[in-house]
Amino acid sequence: MMEKAYPQATLILDMYHALSYIGEISKAAFGGGKRATDWFEAQRKLLL
């Protein structure tokens, strides 16, 4: 959507806050423990 509206814009991902939100999602979805950690790490790798 942003690419269509602003084709010359540079998109920047704030990794600190993105990972913070992903961490909260992993806790809400999986509670905690290894499953939450594994899911979080998989999502983190997708962003990098």
Distance CA 19, CA 2 (A): 21
Distance CA 23, CA 2 (A): 25
In the chain, which residues have pLDDT < 50? none
pTM over 0.85: no
Please give the structure tokens belonging to residue 3: 């690419």
| Domain that residue 28 falls in | 2-47
For residue 48, give the H/E element and its range.
Answer: none
Residue 31 pLDDT? 93
Count, in order, helices (H) and strands (E) of the chain.
3, 0
Domains: count for the chain: 1
